[in-house]
Amino acid sequence: MKVTLSFPSSLLSPNNRKHWAEKMPVKNAAKLEAKLAGAKLDYKHNGQNIHILIKFYPPKNNRDEDNCIASAKAYLDGFASGIRVNDKFFRVKPRLCKADPQNPRMEFIILNEDSVKSLEAIFDSL
């Protein structure tokens, strides 16, 4: 299952020092976008961890992966609400991709069990 969302605003970055009242509308909009996208999925939680690959396509190649993850928190919270699960079950696997100035975005991909096992086998072999 894949959901495409807007690339996080720089206002959502942990490095942004703007006043909380300026950030709040952007944060709320991010949560709502992800909640609505998640609600469209026919997702049934089985009580296990939910492995989500997040692919970040920034507008420029000047973002680092750890800030992208932190900037996506409002989206993850909204997505959890949309699919009706507690986000404590999320296991996020981030990937910072090449910039896409024409279409900056994030893709949340819920990995199936076979994909997760393959990834774990790769990491275990390192």
Map out the domains of the chain as residue ranges.
2-124
pTM for the full predicted model: 0.89
Decide if pLDDT at 113 tops 90.
no
In this prediction, residue 29 carries a pLDDT of: 97
> Considering the chain, what percentage of its residues have pLDDT values greater than 70?
100
What's the CATH fold of domain 2-124? 60s Ribosomal Protein L30; Chain: A; (3.30.1330)
What are 51's strand-pairing partners? 91
Using pLDDT thresholds of 50, 70 and 90, give the confidence band for residue 101. very high
In this prediction, residue 19 carries a pLDDT of: 92
Going by C-alpha positions, the residue among 47, 56, 6, 2 that lies closest to residue 26 is 6
